[in-house]
Amino acid sequence: MTSPASASHSPASQDPAGTSRTLALCAAGTAIASLVAGTLQLVHTPSGEETVVGVEHVTLACLATLLILQIPVVLTVARWAGSRWWPLVAVTGMVLLAAVGTISNVLGHDASFFAAVAIPANLLWFAGLMAVAVAVCRRRRLPLALAVPLPLTWLCTIPLSSLGGGLLAGAYWAMLGWMLWTRALPLAGSADDELHGQAGRR
């Protein structure tokens, strides 16, 4: 019979390869949603400030999708970097923005409370990503070329959306997803390293 202690350190419970593949799929989904939204925002003229018509429904659906799919990646990378609270700040902003955007998508127009939710949600999203990027840089859990642009994905997705910024964000998430899938990142083996360190202390 397997003891609880040994079960907690079994390959199933410490599976960096499986974790990396799952995160890679989330990053890939984020990339696809970003690329679709970025393309539509680049070629489509908005119908108005508060109304949602035609392909704008697809754009908002892609925005909500990319927000939700990147949450596991942000939380996991932040955990590997030892950051606990700031990723929760980012996730709070992402969930709020996804929710209020979905409400607008369903209604066909922005709700009366849209601005009151969307503005602080964007601030939380950006501030959280910025803090996570700093933590990741300090712990060297990602190459600087991937850590530094992390908060810039917000800039590309929201303020620069009409200029095709979503395409740049999509390219970033595609690269991160590929590196996670191929386990080309130092963080991909961090669970193994932790296990070996625990064994050495016994």
Alpha-carbon span 83 to 80, nearest angstrom? 8
Dump pLDDT digits (tens) for 76-105: 999 988 888 999 999 999 999 999 999 999
Identify the band that residue 45 occupies on the pLDDT scale cut at 50, 70 and 90: confident
Q: Which pLDDT band, with edges at 50, 70 and 90, does 183 fall under? A: confident
Q: Are 72 and 20 in contact (CB under 8 A)?
A: no
pLDDT bin (cut points 50, 70, 90) of residue 115 is very high
Confidence check: pLDDT of 60 > 50: yes
Q: According to the 3-state scheme, what is the secondary structure of the chain?
A: CCCHHHHHCCCCCCCHHHHHHHHHHHHHHHHHHHHHHHHHHHHCCCCCCCECCCCHHHHHHHHHHHHHHHHHHHHHHHHHCCCCCHHHHHHHHHHHHHHHHHHHHHHCECCCCHHHHHHHHHHHHHHHHHHHHHHHHHHCCCCHHHHCCCCHHHHHHCCCHHHCHHHHHHHHHHHHHHHHHCCCCHHHHHHHHHHHHHHHHC
pLDDT category of residue 143 using cuts at 50, 70 and 90: confident
pTM (predicted TM-score) = 0.80
Q: Would you tell me how many other CB atoms lie within 10 Å of the CB of residue 184?
A: 11
What pLDDT score was predicted for residue 17? 60
